[in-house]
Protein backbone atom coordinates (compact mmCIF):
# COMPACT_ATOMS: atom_id res chain seq x y z
CA UNK A 1 0.00 0.00 0.00
CA UNK A 2 2.89 2.34 0.72
CA UNK A 3 4.26 1.49 -2.73
CA UNK A 4 0.98 2.55 -4.38
CA UNK A 5 1.11 5.95 -2.70
CA UNK A 6 4.82 6.43 -3.35
CA UNK A 7 4.63 5.52 -7.06
CA UNK A 8 1.60 7.79 -7.54
CA UNK A 9 3.48 10.71 -6.00
CA UNK A 10 6.54 9.97 -8.15
CA UNK A 11 4.46 9.91 -11.34
CA UNK A 12 2.68 13.13 -10.41
CA UNK A 13 6.11 14.73 -9.82
CA UNK A 14 7.35 13.71 -13.27
CA UNK A 15 9.71 11.00 -12.03
CA UNK A 16 10.27 7.63 -13.66
CA UNK A 17 8.51 4.77 -11.90
CA UNK A 18 9.79 1.14 -11.71
CA UNK A 19 6.83 -0.60 -13.37
CA UNK A 20 6.27 -2.78 -16.43
CA UNK A 21 5.72 -1.23 -19.84
CA UNK A 22 2.05 -0.43 -20.48
CA UNK A 23 1.15 0.30 -16.83
CA UNK A 24 -1.08 3.30 -16.17
CA UNK A 25 -1.13 5.67 -13.18
CA UNK A 26 -3.72 8.28 -12.22
CA UNK A 27 -3.16 11.93 -11.37
CA UNK A 28 -4.86 12.79 -8.04
CA UNK A 29 -5.50 16.15 -6.46
CA UNK A 30 -4.34 14.73 -3.10
CA UNK A 31 -3.25 11.44 -1.52
CA UNK A 32 -4.45 10.71 2.04
CA UNK A 33 -3.03 7.86 4.10
CA UNK A 34 -3.78 6.35 7.50
CA UNK A 35 -0.95 3.90 8.03
CA UNK A 36 0.78 2.76 11.23
CA UNK A 37 0.15 3.18 14.95
CA UNK A 38 -0.23 6.81 16.06
CA UNK A 39 -1.19 6.22 19.72
CA UNK A 40 -0.03 8.97 22.07
CA UNK A 41 0.16 8.98 25.88
CA UNK A 42 0.74 12.71 25.86
CA UNK A 43 -2.51 13.34 23.98
CA UNK A 44 -4.38 10.49 25.75
CA UNK A 45 -5.06 8.81 22.41
CA UNK A 46 -5.39 5.05 21.96
CA UNK A 47 -4.62 3.28 18.69
CA UNK A 48 -8.28 3.36 17.69
CA UNK A 49 -8.67 7.02 18.67
CA UNK A 50 -5.61 8.09 16.71
CA UNK A 51 -6.87 6.23 13.63
CA UNK A 52 -10.33 7.77 13.91
CA UNK A 53 -8.88 11.26 14.32
CA UNK A 54 -6.86 10.83 11.15
CA UNK A 55 -9.76 9.26 9.20
CA UNK A 56 -12.15 12.07 10.20
CA UNK A 57 -9.67 14.60 8.88
CA UNK A 58 -9.38 12.62 5.62
CA UNK A 59 -13.17 12.47 5.19
CA UNK A 60 -13.40 16.26 5.56
CA UNK A 61 -10.74 17.07 2.99
CA UNK A 62 -10.98 14.34 0.33
CA UNK A 63 -12.62 14.84 -3.08
CA UNK A 64 -13.76 12.42 -5.81
CA UNK A 65 -10.31 12.91 -7.40
CA UNK A 66 -8.36 11.91 -4.29
CA UNK A 67 -6.59 8.66 -3.39
CA UNK A 68 -7.23 7.27 0.12
CA UNK A 69 -5.00 4.59 1.71
CA UNK A 70 -6.31 2.97 4.90
CA UNK A 71 -4.32 0.38 6.87
CA UNK A 72 -6.20 -2.05 9.15
CA UNK A 73 -9.41 -0.05 9.03
CA UNK A 74 -11.53 -0.49 12.18
CA UNK A 75 -8.74 -2.14 14.18
CA UNK A 76 -7.98 -1.41 17.83
CA UNK A 77 -11.53 -1.84 19.17
CA UNK A 78 -14.28 -4.44 19.49
CA UNK A 79 -14.18 -6.57 16.28
CA UNK A 80 -17.94 -6.46 15.72
CA UNK A 81 -18.18 -2.68 16.14
CA UNK A 82 -14.88 -2.09 14.33
CA UNK A 83 -15.90 -4.10 11.26
CA UNK A 84 -19.32 -2.38 11.10
CA UNK A 85 -17.68 1.04 11.36
CA UNK A 86 -15.11 0.08 8.71
CA UNK A 87 -17.85 -0.99 6.29
CA UNK A 88 -19.70 2.29 6.82
CA UNK A 89 -16.52 4.34 6.16
CA UNK A 90 -15.70 2.33 2.99
CA UNK A 91 -19.28 2.72 1.73
CA UNK A 92 -19.14 6.50 2.24
CA UNK A 93 -15.82 6.87 0.41
CA UNK A 94 -16.99 4.59 -2.41
CA UNK A 95 -20.25 6.54 -2.85
CA UNK A 96 -18.22 9.69 -3.54
CA UNK A 97 -16.34 7.95 -6.36
CA UNK A 98 -13.00 8.30 -4.60
CA UNK A 99 -10.21 5.78 -5.30
CA UNK A 100 -9.16 3.87 -2.18
CA UNK A 101 -7.08 0.92 -0.97
CA UNK A 102 -7.81 -0.58 2.45
CA UNK A 103 -6.25 -3.50 4.33
CA UNK A 104 -8.06 -5.60 6.91
CA UNK A 105 -8.21 -8.94 8.69
CA UNK A 106 -11.98 -8.77 9.25
CA UNK A 107 -13.99 -11.46 7.50
CA UNK A 108 -16.98 -9.08 7.34
CA UNK A 109 -14.99 -6.67 5.15
CA UNK A 110 -13.94 -9.51 2.85
CA UNK A 111 -17.59 -10.48 2.42
CA UNK A 112 -18.51 -6.80 1.83
CA UNK A 113 -15.94 -6.49 -0.98
CA UNK A 114 -17.17 -9.74 -2.51
CA UNK A 115 -20.80 -8.60 -2.67
CA UNK A 116 -20.37 -4.82 -3.33
CA UNK A 117 -20.21 -3.76 -6.98
CA UNK A 118 -17.16 -1.61 -7.70
CA UNK A 119 -15.15 -3.09 -4.81
CA UNK A 120 -12.85 -6.10 -5.24
CA UNK A 121 -10.78 -8.28 -2.95
CA UNK A 122 -7.05 -8.76 -3.42
CA UNK A 123 -4.33 -10.45 -1.41
CA UNK A 124 -0.62 -11.15 -1.37
CA UNK A 125 0.16 -14.85 -1.79
CA UNK A 126 1.78 -16.53 1.22
CA UNK A 127 3.64 -19.85 1.21
CA UNK A 128 2.61 -21.81 4.31
CA UNK A 129 5.44 -24.33 3.90
CA UNK A 130 8.22 -21.75 3.97
CA UNK A 131 6.36 -19.13 6.09
CA UNK A 132 7.36 -16.48 3.57
CA UNK A 133 5.52 -14.29 1.02
CA UNK A 134 5.77 -15.04 -2.69
CA UNK A 135 5.25 -11.35 -3.64
CA UNK A 136 2.43 -12.28 -6.03
CA UNK A 137 -0.70 -10.12 -6.02
CA UNK A 138 -3.89 -12.19 -6.37
CA UNK A 139 -6.72 -9.96 -7.59
CA UNK A 140 -10.22 -11.26 -6.84
CA UNK A 141 -9.11 -13.64 -4.08
CA UNK A 142 -9.35 -12.45 -0.44
CA UNK A 143 -6.38 -13.28 1.76
CA UNK A 144 -6.31 -15.77 4.60
CA UNK A 145 -4.86 -14.88 7.97
CA UNK A 146 -3.12 -18.30 8.24
CA UNK A 147 -2.77 -17.69 11.99
CA UNK A 148 -3.32 -21.33 12.97
CA UNK A 149 -0.97 -22.63 10.28
CA UNK A 150 1.81 -20.21 11.21
CA UNK A 151 1.40 -20.93 14.92
CA UNK A 152 1.54 -24.67 14.26
CA UNK A 153 4.68 -24.32 12.13
CA UNK A 154 6.33 -22.23 14.83
CA UNK A 155 5.67 -24.97 17.43
CA UNK A 156 2.57 -23.89 19.39
CA UNK A 157 1.30 -26.95 21.34
CA UNK A 158 -1.43 -28.93 19.61
CA UNK A 159 -3.98 -28.79 22.48
CA UNK A 160 -3.90 -25.00 22.40
CA UNK A 161 -4.44 -25.00 18.62
CA UNK A 162 -7.36 -27.42 18.88
CA UNK A 163 -8.97 -25.33 21.58
CA UNK A 164 -8.49 -22.17 19.46
CA UNK A 165 -10.08 -23.79 16.41
CA UNK A 166 -13.09 -24.71 18.52
CA UNK A 167 -13.53 -21.09 19.51
CA UNK A 168 -13.80 -19.85 15.91
CA UNK A 169 -17.34 -18.85 14.98
CA UNK A 170 -19.10 -20.95 12.39
CA UNK A 171 -19.62 -17.91 10.15
CA UNK A 172 -15.91 -17.02 10.23
CA UNK A 173 -15.08 -20.66 9.55
CA UNK A 174 -17.31 -20.66 6.46
CA UNK A 175 -15.58 -17.55 5.16
CA UNK A 176 -12.15 -19.11 5.70
CA UNK A 177 -13.29 -22.28 3.95
CA UNK A 178 -14.65 -20.23 1.05
CA UNK A 179 -11.35 -18.39 0.72
CA UNK A 180 -9.42 -21.65 0.87
CA UNK A 181 -11.67 -23.12 -1.84
CA UNK A 182 -11.16 -20.08 -4.06
CA UNK A 183 -7.41 -20.33 -3.67
CA UNK A 184 -7.49 -24.05 -4.41
CA UNK A 185 -9.59 -23.48 -7.56
CA UNK A 186 -7.21 -20.76 -8.68
CA UNK A 187 -4.22 -23.08 -8.30
CA UNK A 188 -6.03 -25.83 -10.22
CA UNK A 189 -6.96 -23.37 -12.99
CA UNK A 190 -3.35 -22.20 -13.30
CA UNK A 191 -2.10 -25.78 -13.49
CA UNK A 192 -4.68 -26.64 -16.15
CA UNK A 193 -3.78 -23.53 -18.12
CA UNK A 194 -0.09 -24.45 -18.02
CA UNK A 195 -0.94 -28.02 -19.08
CA UNK A 196 -3.14 -26.75 -21.95
CA UNK A 197 -0.39 -24.38 -23.10
CA UNK A 198 2.16 -27.21 -23.05
CA UNK A 199 -0.16 -29.52 -25.00
CA UNK A 200 -0.84 -26.77 -27.52
CA UNK A 201 2.88 -26.30 -28.15
CA UNK A 202 3.36 -30.08 -28.46
CA UNK A 203 0.49 -30.35 -30.96
CA UNK A 204 1.87 -27.42 -32.95
CA UNK A 205 5.30 -29.07 -33.10
CA UNK A 206 3.74 -32.37 -34.18
CA UNK A 207 1.73 -30.64 -36.89
CA UNK A 208 4.80 -28.85 -38.23
CA UNK A 209 6.73 -32.13 -38.19
CA UNK A 210 3.89 -33.93 -39.99
CA UNK A 211 3.68 -31.23 -42.65
CA UNK A 212 7.44 -31.39 -43.21
CA UNK A 213 7.35 -35.19 -43.57
CA UNK A 214 4.37 -34.98 -45.94
CA UNK A 215 6.18 -32.45 -48.12
CA UNK A 216 9.26 -34.71 -48.12
CA UNK A 217 7.16 -37.69 -49.25
CA UNK A 218 5.62 -35.64 -52.05
CA UNK A 219 9.07 -34.61 -53.25
CA UNK A 220 10.26 -38.26 -53.20
CA UNK A 221 7.14 -39.31 -55.10
CA UNK A 222 7.85 -36.70 -57.78
CA UNK A 223 11.46 -37.86 -58.11
CA UNK A 224 10.44 -41.53 -58.44
CA UNK A 225 7.81 -40.75 -61.09
CA UNK A 226 10.24 -38.60 -63.07
CA UNK A 227 12.85 -41.37 -62.95
CA UNK A 228 10.30 -43.98 -64.10
CA UNK A 229 9.20 -41.77 -66.98
CA UNK A 230 12.79 -41.20 -68.09
CA UNK A 231 13.48 -44.94 -68.04
CA UNK A 232 10.29 -45.69 -70.02
CA UNK A 233 11.14 -42.97 -72.52
CA UNK A 234 14.64 -44.43 -73.02
CA UNK A 235 13.25 -47.95 -73.59
CA UNK A 236 10.72 -46.69 -76.15
CA UNK A 237 13.33 -44.59 -77.96
CA UNK A 238 15.60 -47.61 -78.23
CA UNK A 239 12.73 -49.83 -79.49
CA UNK A 240 11.70 -47.24 -82.09
CA UNK A 241 15.26 -46.94 -83.35
CA UNK A 242 15.57 -50.72 -83.72
CA UNK A 243 12.17 -50.94 -85.46
CA UNK A 244 13.12 -48.18 -87.93
CA UNK A 245 16.30 -50.05 -88.75
CA UNK A 246 14.37 -53.29 -89.36
CA UNK A 247 11.83 -51.51 -91.59
CA UNK A 248 14.64 -49.93 -93.63
CA UNK A 249 16.27 -53.32 -94.06
CA UNK A 250 12.97 -54.89 -95.18
CA UNK A 251 12.38 -52.13 -97.67
CA UNK A 252 15.94 -52.49 -99.04
CA UNK A 253 15.59 -56.27 -99.20
CA UNK A 254 12.32 -55.99 -101.09
CA UNK A 255 13.89 -53.66 -103.66
CA UNK A 256 16.85 -56.00 -104.21
CA UNK A 257 14.79 -59.18 -104.60
CA UNK A 258 11.80 -57.60 -106.30
CA UNK A 259 9.47 -58.72 -103.57
CA UNK A 260 6.32 -56.78 -102.92
CA UNK A 261 6.21 -55.12 -99.49
CA UNK A 262 3.31 -52.72 -99.28
CA UNK A 263 4.23 -49.31 -97.84
CA UNK A 264 0.97 -48.83 -95.99
CA UNK A 265 1.68 -51.91 -93.86
CA UNK A 266 5.01 -50.40 -92.81
CA UNK A 267 3.28 -47.15 -91.92
CA UNK A 268 0.67 -49.05 -89.87
CA UNK A 269 3.41 -50.90 -87.99
CA UNK A 270 5.14 -47.62 -87.18
CA UNK A 271 1.85 -46.18 -85.92
CA UNK A 272 1.33 -49.16 -83.61
CA UNK A 273 4.76 -48.51 -82.17
CA UNK A 274 3.94 -44.85 -81.59
CA UNK A 275 0.68 -45.78 -79.90
CA UNK A 276 2.53 -48.09 -77.53
CA UNK A 277 4.38 -45.09 -76.02
CA UNK A 278 2.77 -44.18 -72.68
CA UNK A 279 1.52 -40.64 -72.26
CA UNK A 280 3.77 -38.76 -69.88
CA UNK A 281 1.94 -37.09 -67.06
CA UNK A 282 1.94 -33.33 -66.82
CA UNK A 283 3.38 -31.81 -63.70
CA UNK A 284 0.75 -29.90 -61.75
CA UNK A 285 1.40 -26.22 -61.39
CA UNK A 286 2.75 -25.29 -57.98
CA UNK A 287 0.02 -23.89 -55.84
CA UNK A 288 0.89 -20.57 -54.32
CA UNK A 289 -0.84 -19.35 -51.22
CA UNK A 290 -2.63 -16.18 -52.22
CA UNK A 291 -3.41 -13.85 -49.40
CA UNK A 292 -6.45 -11.65 -49.90
CA UNK A 293 -5.54 -8.05 -50.54
CA UNK A 294 -8.29 -6.92 -48.18
CA UNK A 295 -11.25 -8.25 -46.24
CA UNK A 296 -14.53 -9.02 -48.01
CA UNK A 297 -16.94 -6.07 -48.16
CA UNK A 298 -20.56 -5.66 -49.36
CA UNK A 299 -20.71 -5.42 -53.16
CA UNK A 300 -17.57 -7.53 -53.74
CA UNK A 301 -17.59 -10.34 -56.28
CA UNK A 302 -16.75 -13.67 -54.60
CA UNK A 303 -16.57 -17.38 -55.34
CA UNK A 304 -18.35 -19.93 -53.13
CA UNK A 305 -16.02 -22.95 -53.04
CA UNK A 306 -18.56 -25.46 -51.74
CA UNK A 307 -21.00 -24.61 -54.58
CA UNK A 308 -18.39 -23.70 -57.23
CA UNK A 309 -20.46 -20.59 -58.02
CA UNK A 310 -19.74 -16.90 -58.30
CA UNK A 311 -21.86 -14.24 -56.65
CA UNK A 312 -21.91 -10.86 -54.94
CA UNK A 313 -21.88 -9.90 -51.27
CA UNK A 314 -25.17 -8.30 -50.24
CA UNK A 315 -24.28 -7.72 -46.58
CA UNK A 316 -22.09 -9.13 -43.82
CA UNK A 317 -23.76 -11.13 -41.03
CA UNK A 318 -21.37 -10.73 -38.11
CA UNK A 319 -17.72 -11.81 -38.30
CA UNK A 320 -18.27 -15.32 -39.70
CA UNK A 321 -21.07 -15.20 -42.32
CA UNK A 322 -22.17 -13.11 -45.28
CA UNK A 323 -25.37 -12.89 -47.33
CA UNK A 324 -24.42 -13.77 -50.93
CA UNK A 325 -26.52 -13.18 -54.08
CA UNK A 326 -26.20 -16.24 -56.36
CA UNK A 327 -28.26 -15.48 -59.45
CA UNK A 328 -31.83 -14.97 -58.22
CA UNK A 329 -31.12 -16.82 -54.96
CA UNK A 330 -29.69 -15.39 -51.75
CA UNK A 331 -28.10 -17.51 -49.05
CA UNK A 332 -25.87 -17.13 -46.00
CA UNK A 333 -22.36 -18.54 -46.50
CA UNK A 334 -19.43 -18.83 -44.06
CA UNK A 335 -16.64 -16.33 -44.80
CA UNK A 336 -14.06 -19.12 -44.83
CA UNK A 337 -15.97 -20.69 -47.77
CA UNK A 338 -15.62 -17.46 -49.83
CA UNK A 339 -12.78 -16.31 -52.07
CA UNK A 340 -12.51 -12.63 -53.00
CA UNK A 341 -12.45 -12.21 -56.77
CA UNK A 342 -12.79 -8.46 -57.01
CA UNK A 343 -15.07 -5.52 -56.56
CA UNK A 344 -18.47 -5.52 -58.21
CA UNK A 345 -18.04 -5.18 -61.99
CA UNK A 346 -18.67 -1.73 -63.40
CA UNK A 347 -21.67 -1.63 -65.69
CA UNK A 348 -20.67 -0.61 -69.20
CA UNK A 349 -22.95 1.81 -71.06
CA UNK A 350 -25.31 0.06 -73.45
CA UNK A 351 -24.43 0.84 -77.06
CA UNK A 352 -27.63 1.76 -78.85
CA UNK A 353 -27.58 0.80 -82.52
CA UNK A 354 -30.26 0.96 -85.12
CA UNK A 355 -31.11 -2.74 -85.28
CA UNK A 356 -33.78 -5.15 -84.14
CA UNK A 357 -33.08 -6.23 -80.54
CA UNK A 358 -34.08 -9.75 -79.56
CA UNK A 359 -34.96 -10.00 -75.89
CA UNK A 360 -33.28 -13.10 -74.48
CA UNK A 361 -32.23 -14.09 -71.01
CA UNK A 362 -28.49 -13.49 -70.42
CA UNK A 363 -27.18 -15.62 -67.57
CA UNK A 364 -24.30 -13.18 -66.93
CA UNK A 365 -26.51 -10.13 -66.43
CA UNK A 366 -26.43 -8.75 -62.89
CA UNK A 367 -29.58 -8.98 -60.79
CA UNK A 368 -28.44 -6.38 -58.25
CA UNK A 369 -26.84 -2.94 -58.23
CA UNK A 370 -24.78 -1.65 -55.30
CA UNK A 371 -24.97 2.16 -55.00
CA UNK A 372 -23.48 2.63 -51.52
CA UNK A 373 -20.93 5.44 -51.43
CA UNK A 374 -22.39 7.37 -54.41
CA UNK A 375 -24.39 10.58 -54.41
CA UNK A 376 -27.97 10.78 -55.70
CA UNK A 377 -27.07 12.15 -59.15
CA UNK A 378 -24.52 9.40 -59.85
CA UNK A 379 -26.88 6.79 -58.42
CA UNK A 380 -29.78 7.72 -60.73
CA UNK A 381 -27.51 7.45 -63.80
CA UNK A 382 -26.42 3.96 -62.72
CA UNK A 383 -30.01 2.93 -61.94
CA UNK A 384 -31.14 4.01 -65.41
CA UNK A 385 -28.42 1.92 -67.08
CA UNK A 386 -29.08 -1.01 -64.77
CA UNK A 387 -32.83 -1.13 -65.45
CA UNK A 388 -32.31 -0.86 -69.23
CA UNK A 389 -29.82 -3.71 -69.09
CA UNK A 390 -32.16 -5.85 -66.96
CA UNK A 391 -35.15 -5.07 -69.21
CA UNK A 392 -33.25 -6.08 -72.36
CA UNK A 393 -32.17 -9.28 -70.61
CA UNK A 394 -35.79 -10.14 -69.77
CA UNK A 395 -35.24 -10.12 -66.00
CA UNK A 396 -38.37 -10.15 -63.87
CA UNK A 397 -36.93 -8.76 -60.64
CA UNK A 398 -33.83 -6.79 -59.63
CA UNK A 399 -32.29 -5.59 -56.36
CA UNK A 400 -30.97 -2.05 -55.83
CA UNK A 401 -28.69 -1.75 -52.79
CA UNK A 402 -28.61 1.82 -51.45
CA UNK A 403 -27.92 1.19 -47.75
CA UNK A 404 -29.80 2.60 -44.78
CA UNK A 405 -27.80 5.76 -44.08
CA UNK A 406 -29.72 9.06 -44.06
CA UNK A 407 -32.41 7.86 -46.48
CA UNK A 408 -31.57 10.33 -49.31
CA UNK A 409 -30.63 7.60 -51.79
CA UNK A 410 -33.66 5.50 -50.85
CA UNK A 411 -36.12 8.38 -51.33
CA UNK A 412 -34.55 9.56 -54.60
CA UNK A 413 -34.52 6.03 -56.08
CA UNK A 414 -38.15 5.46 -55.00
CA UNK A 415 -39.24 8.67 -56.78
CA UNK A 416 -37.33 7.63 -59.90
CA UNK A 417 -38.78 4.10 -59.98
CA UNK A 418 -42.31 5.47 -59.53
CA UNK A 419 -42.03 7.30 -62.88
CA UNK A 420 -40.03 4.68 -64.84
CA UNK A 421 -41.94 3.08 -67.71
CA UNK A 422 -40.31 -0.36 -67.31
CA UNK A 423 -41.05 -0.70 -63.57
CA UNK A 424 -44.22 -2.58 -62.64
CA UNK A 425 -43.86 -2.26 -58.86
CA UNK A 426 -41.23 -1.82 -56.19
CA UNK A 427 -40.83 -2.37 -52.46
CA UNK A 428 -38.25 -2.38 -49.67
CA UNK A 429 -36.41 -5.62 -48.97
CA UNK A 430 -37.83 -8.18 -46.58
CA UNK A 431 -35.98 -9.94 -43.77
CA UNK A 432 -33.06 -11.79 -45.33
CA UNK A 433 -33.02 -9.48 -48.40
CA UNK A 434 -31.32 -6.52 -46.74
CA UNK A 435 -34.32 -4.79 -45.11
CA UNK A 436 -34.62 -1.03 -45.65
CA UNK A 437 -31.15 -0.94 -47.18
CA UNK A 438 -32.41 -2.64 -50.40
CA UNK A 439 -35.19 -1.80 -52.86
CA UNK A 440 -36.67 -4.71 -54.84
CA UNK A 441 -38.10 -3.68 -58.23
CA UNK A 442 -40.34 -5.82 -60.46
CA UNK A 443 -40.02 -5.19 -64.20
CA UNK A 444 -42.88 -5.25 -66.71
Task: Say what the pLDDT of residue 62 is.
Answer: 94
Q: Provide the residue ranges of all domains of the chain, joining segments of one domain with +.
A: 2-196, 209-275, 296-345, 346-444
The 10s digit of each residue's pLDDT in 46-55 is: 678 888 888 9
State the average pLDDT over residues 132-139. Answer: 83
Lowest mean pLDDT across 167-176, 247-256, 387-396: 167-176
* Number of other CB atoms surrounding residue 2 within 10 Å: 11
Of 278, 248, 274, 275, the C-alpha closest to 263 is: 248
Of 146, 52, 68, 141, the C-alpha closest to 102 is: 68
SS (HEC) of 70-132 = ECCCCCCCCHHHHHHHHHHHHHHHHHCCCEEEECCCCHHHHHHHHHCCCCCCEEEEEECCCCE
The rounded percent of the chain whose pLDDT value lies above 90 is 14
Provide the CATH topology of domain 296-345: SH3 type barrels. (2.30.30)
pTM (global) more than 0.75: no
Class of domain 2-196: alpha beta
The 10s digit of each residue's pLDDT in 11-23 is: 999 999 999 988 9
Provide the CATH topology of domain 346-444: Ribosomal Protein S8; Chain: A, domain 1 (3.30.1370)
Q: Which residue has the higher pLDDT, 267 or 8?
A: 8
Written as one string, the DSSP assignment of 228-280 is: HHHHHHHHHHHHHHHHHHHHHHHHHHHHHHT----HHHHHHHHHHHHHTSPPP
State the average pLDDT over residues 206-235. Answer: 87
Taking the mean position of all CA atoms in its chain, how far away is CA 254?
A: 84
| Maximal C-alpha separation, the chain | 150
What does pLDDT average to over the chain? 79
Quote the CA–CA distance of 423 and 328 in Å, as a whole number: 18
Q: What is the DSSP letter of 367?
A: S
Amino acid sequence: MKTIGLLSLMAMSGLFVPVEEGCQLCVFDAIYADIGDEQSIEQSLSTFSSHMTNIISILKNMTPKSLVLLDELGAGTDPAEGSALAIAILEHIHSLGCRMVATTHYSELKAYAYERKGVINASMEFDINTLSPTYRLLVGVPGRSNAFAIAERLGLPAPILEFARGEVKEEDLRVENMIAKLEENRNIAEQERETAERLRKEMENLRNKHEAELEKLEQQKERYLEKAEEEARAVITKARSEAENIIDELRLLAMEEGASVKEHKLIAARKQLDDAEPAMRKKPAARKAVKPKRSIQPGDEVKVHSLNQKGHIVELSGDKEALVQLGIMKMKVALEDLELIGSAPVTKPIQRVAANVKRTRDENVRTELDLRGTNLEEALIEVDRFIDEAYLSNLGQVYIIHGKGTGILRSGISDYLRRHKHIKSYRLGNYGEGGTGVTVAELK
